[in-house]
Structure 1
Amino acid sequence: MASMIRELSLKIANERDSELDACEFLDEFAKKCDFMTESIDEMRLAFIEAIINAKEHAPKNLPTGVETDVFTAFSFDGENLTIQVRDFGQGFNPTQVEKPDIKKKLKSANKRGWGLMLMEKLMDGVEISSFPPSGTLIKMVKKRVNIDPPDSGDLVRERKRIERLKYILGSFIDLSSFLCQNRDLETGLRSMLRILLGTLGVSRGAIYIADPAKDVMQCVVDIKLRAKEKFPLIKLSVTELQNLSGQESLEVSSLIARLNPAFFQTFTKEEAELVYLLKSDVEILGMLVLGARFRVEDNEPYDGDLLSTLARNISSAINTFKLMEQLKSANGELDTRVQELSAVREASQTISSELEMENLPFTVERIFQNIMKIGKFSLSIHDPSENRYTICQTGRELPQVLDLWSSPISRYVVQKMTPIFVPDIEKEKRFQFPRAKNYRTRAFIVIPVVVQEEALGLVSLTDRTDGQQMTDRDFNLAQLLCTQLGIALKNANLYKLGITDGLTHLYTQHYLKMRLSQEISRLRRVKSPLSLIVMDMDNFKSLNEAHGDFAGDTVLSKVSNTIKRQIRFNDIPCRCGGEKFAIILPDTHLRGAVVVAEKLRAAIETSKILHHATELKVTASFGVAPFEINMSLEQLLESGDCQLREAKAKGGNFVSNPEKASPKVSPEASPKVSPEASQKNK
């Protein structure tokens, strides 16, 4: 890099969207400094947070001579890139700002703290100097990563990709809550679009809103596209709107080019590269137009899913806003509906903020209990690797797998992807109800959780705790909640992509340590037990030498499926590398963990694994370790490894534990869990 471009200073006008212009300068500067793409993405996101912080607190509408703009500077010393952002507002004490988690971020009072936390997370160093009443200086440093050896680059990029993915999913929560908190549609949509463009590194964009009465879409938000001047209205006939609503994909660029050629003739490809449809079920709400990115690079495999999820979040927010506007003008009957939708809005925010798949069922169950007084709730989540629905264990004694053949109603709902509300089972003629005697009331609801024509889950509701029968209003409320649940499941699946092993679809070793740390902190608060199982395949090297690496991959894949079938939904299975696995068992005593390990050992020993018509016989050794209150995370892992070594020393195919107990396990055996297990995360 030439010495003449080692420093760059900018003055940013305190105007809306000006941070996007500044990002283009940062991207170009960092690229010339030979920073890797992932590092540039992190710097851009931190830079946006810093500028937004400075712009919000810089003085406005002051006499000439008083500085109201924001100043920024970039410098590079050959190893570190330093970003400085300076405003001349009232200043603040950064040590007194609470740095919240994602859930607290939803409160506007925590907005500044969230931004500061993100800067520290994304950068290698952050220093904030305040000069009350003369403003604040934010100084951030990013070290250039040298990939050595070269093959370690993928690990660095993967780690950075996970951090960026967590930031994007945090932004999703912003997108789904902005319009719920803003009464002005245009202001809310502009905030959403600005976050979207900054997050994805897109240079310009616009949002059009449909007016069904006039068969047009009107541009309501325009950032650097000048769409309000060039193309304020998109006229579409009833037939053309029907063609749009029938599209499976939300990406409709080519279809818009065919239906309305003038649109893409008006804008260059740089100005309008992609068009995404905004819709709720079959109702067209509008369109999202995105320009070219700051850098032209290959998209990540899930980039299309990411944009579709963003479009669905915008659609959900617009739809919620419209519903609330309609309810404001309703009579006394609808006033009750407003209160219910307000509860749904808060519930939607709570659901959207939960990124951990294991915690999601508990969160959703509490919401249905609080809003609808539901006594019996069950959530089944589709497992594509097994092509089955796993029933989430939230306290009720239910089977682990949903048998669609013995449950004709669930089978019907999944096949038709249509919700069912039965007000009175005695009058329902379509289905039989063998378990009706277990119901206190005569009504129940079954709703598929559908996203993009895919049934991601199934929700069953019955028995209100207040003894009242469920009504059509309950049915509508449940469907609203399940719509948001679908978005949450999609978000959780996207998050899971970054923390799971590609071969086994189990969690990674990095995630194992992160979750163990969280569980240890939790149990120290609630005084509940925790156990860890560490397992290793016996003679795996010999199997690879005899049958080849592909045979080893087949064994690892089949064994991981066996693990998932034998454990509970809220247990956390991880692959630690090679043929070694670990399973975190929350709310489980040592005896219960030994039972689980024995079940796994027996299931693996008796499993039939075929590779090229050859049956492979495999076994595994297990070490079981309970958590003691004075243990550190490292000590718990070492305890599990120690027990595993003892099992190996006994010849393998053995379960070792500190009490030296190895009970015989029947297929019906289940782990002993603490009384608090059903109240997990409450």
Structure 2
Amino acid sequence: MTTIHNKHINSLDKDNLEKMVFDLQNLLEIALSLSSNLEFDSLVESILYICIGQMIVDKAAIFLNSNLENDELTLYMSRGYTLEPDLKIVSKSKLINYLYSNCGIIDSDKARELMSADPTTKETYDMLKPEIVIPLKSKNSINGLIFLSQKIMENSYTEHDFQFLEKMAKFASIAVENSRLYRMATLDRMTGLFIHHYFQERLVEEIKRSERTGTPLTLIMADLDHFKDVNDTYGHQQGDIILKGTASIIHQNIRAFDIASRYGGEEFAIILTETDIEAAYTIAERLRKKIEAEVYENGNKELTVTISIGLAQFNHEIDKNGIDLIKRADTALYSAKATGRNRVIKSD
């Protein structure tokens, strides 16, 4: 009997050891994958899919501090849920206060206790009904929360699951913070578009990729019309509102992998990858019309602005580098200005 019992224990130990080794290898791969990814959206998506895949759930949501102006956590990405994009968790909520003084993952009972009775989080709780909440902590602050639903097979989260997710969360927290700092260094604070230097770096990369793969690449150069008059007449604060509004329209009307930047002042540059000039013209016309249609209020007045746009498709026979491509797109932009503004002109 003792011999059988010892064999059973040894067998269990071996199984546990093998699982432990497997999990450590898995965590190492996750850590390497997350730490090497500085693209914020791609990183966040990776974190969500790691949670979904490892825990076998069909619903996951992540809230992050993506606004530099405050400490609120806003819904950044979700899978499986149907959620309003403006969902947020304020820094003074019971949930956040509890997590600052208590480390680790919280279960469904604690999540219900903290969130359902708090007016600031009740609506969010009703939409999510989380089985567990995983805090992402960095430098004594909470920079994110991951909400996971019940497992697909409806079995409970185990102590082993909690341990795995806590280790994963440490790697994810560091990766999110590093990516966030990188994004802060590459984004224009006012518009949320990429800065000029980052645009130049990416243009070089995308031209090389276009040459290597043979896929088309088109550059948009755009400039708000008579913007100096707007600043002189209505003030720079109104000008800033229009710049932000224009940037928002650009964000909403290009693909996630296109690269939009504030080139300087009221001028914008957009790299359209895998896009020829005809397809780029359609995108540019859509942007032009939406920017023209946008109405800005200034006291009792309603203001509108227009934009002139120049396009150039990369041509390895005439474009020796990114500078040549920019010059051709700029020339087309100047033509749009010279021929009446508020139009799109294609480079030859």
Q: For the superposition of Structure 1 and Structure 2, which TM-score range results when normalised by the shorter chain?
A: 0.5 to 0.7
Secondary structure of 1:507's partner? coil
Aligned CA distance change for structure 1 residues 588 and 450 (closer, same or farther; 3 Å): farther
Distance in 2 between residues matched to 1:646 and 1:516, nearest whole Å: 23
2:268 counterpart of 1:581: yes
Does structure 1 conserve the Cα–Cα contact (< 8 Å) formed by 2:331 and 2:347?
Answer: no
2:31 counterpart of 1:344: no
Map Cα deviations across residues 41-80 of structure 1 (whole Å, 9 max, x no partner): xxxxxxxxxxxxxxxxxxxxxxxxxxxxxxxxxxxxxxxx
In structure 2, the residue matched to 1:517 is: 204
In structure 2, the residue matched to 1:484 is: 171
Distance in 2 between residues matched to 1:639 and 1:603, nearest whole Å: 25
Distance in 1 between residues matched to 2:273 and 2:135, nearest whole Å: 29
2:227 counterpart of 1:540: yes
Secondary structure of 2:186's partner? coil
Q: TM-score, normalised by structure 2?
A: 0.66
Distance in 2 between residues matched to 1:589 and 1:618, nearest whole Å: 27
Aligned CA distance change for structure 1 residues 358 and 629 (closer, same or farther; 3 Å): farther
1:358: how far off? Answer: 5.0
2:246 counterpart of 1:559: yes
In structure 2, the residue matched to 1:300 is: none
1:569: how far off? Answer: 3.7
Deviates more, 1:373-382 or 1:595-604: 373-382
Higher Cα Rg: structure 1 or 2? 1
Does structure 1 conserve the Cα–Cα contact (< 8 Å) formed by 2:132 and 2:149?
Answer: yes
In structure 2, the residue matched to 1:332 is: 15
Q: How many aligned residue pairs are there?
A: 303
1:458: how far off? Answer: 4.8
Distance in 1 between residues matched to 2:202 and 2:253, nearest whole Å: 20
In structure 1, the residue matched to 2:182 is: 495
1:484: how far off? Answer: 1.9
One-letter identity of the residue aligned with 1:535 = A
In structure 1, the residue matched to 2:114 is: none
Structure with the greater relative contact order (CA < 8 A, sep ≥ 6): 1 or 2? 2
In structure 1, the residue matched to 2:38 is: 355
Listed as ranges, the gaps of 5+ residues in structure 2 are: 1-12, 97-104, 110-124
Aligned CA distance change for structure 1 residues 459 and 353 (closer, same or farther; 3 Å): farther
1:580: how far off? Answer: 0.5
Aligned CA distance change for structure 1 residues 454 and 468 (closer, same or farther; 3 Å): closer
Does structure 2 conserve the Cα–Cα contact (< 8 Å) formed by 1:509 and 1:577?
Answer: yes
Secondary structure of 1:498's partner? helix
In structure 2, the residue matched to 1:504 is: 191
Distance in 1 between residues matched to 2:206 and 2:150, nearest whole Å: 32
Secondary structure of 1:618's partner? coil
Does structure 2 conserve the Cα–Cα contact (< 8 Å) formed by 1:359 and 1:570?
Answer: no
Spell out the pairing of 1:610-625 with structure 2 (5 A cutoff).
610-611=297-298, 614-625=301-312
1:509: how far off? Answer: 1.1
Distance in 2 between residues matched to 1:523 and 1:375, nearest whole Å: 37
Greater fraction of residues in helix: 2
Listed as ranges, the gaps of 5+ residues in structure 1 are: 1-329, 423-429, 434-442, 660-682
One-letter identity of the residue aligned with 1:608 = V
Spell out the pairing of 1:72-91 with structure 2 (5 A cutoff).
none
Spell out the pairing of 1:315-326 with structure 2 (5 A cutoff).
none
Aligned CA distance change for structure 1 residues 568 and 377 (closer, same or farther; 3 Å): farther
One-letter identity of the residue aligned with 2:231 = N
Distance in 2 between residues matched to 1:517 and 1:331, nearest whole Å: 53
Map Cα deviations across residues 255-280 of structure 1 (whole Å, 9 max, x no partner): xxxxxxxxxxxxxxxxxxxxxxxxxx
Secondary structure of 2:37's partner? coil
Distance in 2 between residues matched to 1:562 and 1:526, nearest whole Å: 30
1:536: how far off? Answer: 0.6
Does structure 2 conserve the Cα–Cα contact (< 8 Å) formed by 1:529 and 1:586?
Answer: yes
Query: What root-mean-square deviation, in Å, do the aligned CA atoms of Structure 1 and Structure 2 show?
Result: 4.4
Paired residue for 1:644, among 330, 333, 341? 333
One-letter identity of the residue aligned with 1:480 = K
1:390: how far off? Answer: 4.4
Distance in 2 between residues matched to 1:613 and 1:504, nearest whole Å: 25
Q: TM-score, normalised by structure 1?
A: 0.37
1:635: how far off? Answer: 2.7
Aligned CA distance change for structure 1 residues 555 and 463 (closer, same or farther; 3 Å): same
2:92 counterpart of 1:403: no
Distance in 1 between residues matched to 2:55 and 2:214, nearest whole Å: 31
